[in-house]
Amino acid sequence: MCEITTIVTTAARPDALSKQLAERACTMLNVRFVERKKRGIAKMATLYNANVIVAGKNRYEYHALGADAPFFFHPSSAAFRLKRAARGEIDTFLAACQLNEGDTFLDCTLGMATDSMMAAFAVGESGKVIGCEGNANVAFIVSEGMKRYDITDLPLLSCMEQIEVVHSVALDYLKLQPDNSFDVVYMDPMFEETIEESTSFQPLRQAGLHEGLSDEWMTQAERVAKRRIVLKAHFRSDLFEQYGFVRDARLSSKFHYGIKEVT
């Protein structure tokens, strides 16, 4: 069986900008460009046995081979969560993390970067937010999406410009970090259990790398975290008890946060 690769193409009617974006994707990901030639993306994916990144006029789309829908960057719930946080309303993620201006924050499971945006807002320009993403294509789509997203009507989203996206699985990245190098280490193994109504994340589920929480991952997180580790998981998850997290139970939510202070 042929190995699955990644190719880059343009929208059906490319303009100069989409051609430039396609060239950038090829360079950044070290993959080849394939002319669209009026072909559908599904047909190209099958023909080349490849994932397909499409450079459009204003965004990239990632069509993972066999996926039902493309993955592309959008701020998701961060837009309205940032508005609420700016008004002084409680955000459960920020309450769990207890981030301060100037803090350092490591998101082990970046995904759509929604929570990292909240963290960037909390730590401010003097802080540091790094997000790990194990899938190179997803890391590229999110990183480029945050750089290019039009924030004209959503100025609070400017905080995402300071998020550094790292293409690495969390464990490998943690192993390279010094002791006590991040105030808060955050992990959200979102694929542990599927939430039926969470349709906006379905493309990411199909495109992303599924990484389960392990003993070694926790050991490294405890070494790297200076203040606390925060876990987000389904309310039925046994990870809270397994790894000694104090659960912040929310009766109205299907996800809970777990907090583990590091001493």
What does the pLDDT read at residue 90? 94
* pLDDT band, residue 190 (cuts 50/70/90): low
Structure confidence at residue 2 (pLDDT): 58
The secondary structure of residue 71, as a DSSP letter, is B
Query: Does residue 196 carry a pLDDT above 60?
Result: no
Whether pLDDT at 193 is above 50: no
Tell me the per-residue pLDDT of 200-254, one tens digit each, with 9 for 90 and over.
445 555 444 556 899 999 999 999 999 999 999 999 899 999 999 999 877 778 8
Tell me the residue ranges of DSSP E strands in 111-210.
128-133, 163-167, 182-187
Q: Is residue 143 classed as helix, strand or coil in its secondary structure?
A: helix
pLDDT of 194 strictly over 60: no
Torsional sign, CA 71, 132, 75, 194 = positive
Q: Is the pLDDT of residue 97 over 60?
A: yes
CA distance 56 to 253: 36
pLDDT given for residue 200 in this prediction: 44
Say which residues have a Cβ less than 8 Å from residue 226's Cβ, sequence separation at least 6: 104, 180, 181, 182, 183, 262
pLDDT band at 160 (very low <50, low <70, confident <90, very high): very high
More confident position, 203 or 95: 95
Percent of residues in the chain assigned helix, strand, coil, to nearest 5: 35, 25, 40
Written as six digits, the tokens of 129 are 């937010």
Q: What is the Cα–Cα distance from 222 to 174, expressed in whole angstroms?
A: 10
Q: Taking each helix axis from N to C terminus, what angle separates 136-148 and 16-29, rounded to the nearest 10 degrees?
A: 140
pLDDT digits (tens, 9 = 90+) for 8-32: 999 998 999 999 999 999 999 999 9
Q: How many CA atoms lie within 13 A of 252 on its CB side?
A: 1
Mean pLDDT of the chain: 90
Using alpha carbons, list the distances in angstroms from residue 229 to 209, 232, 257.
Answer: 21, 10, 10
Label residue 263 by pLDDT band (50, 70, 90). confident
Structural domains of the chain, with CATH: 5-63 (3.40.50.10480), 78-261 (3.40.50.150)
* Helix, strand, or coil (residue 95): helix
For 122, phi then psi, to 5°, come to: -70, -40
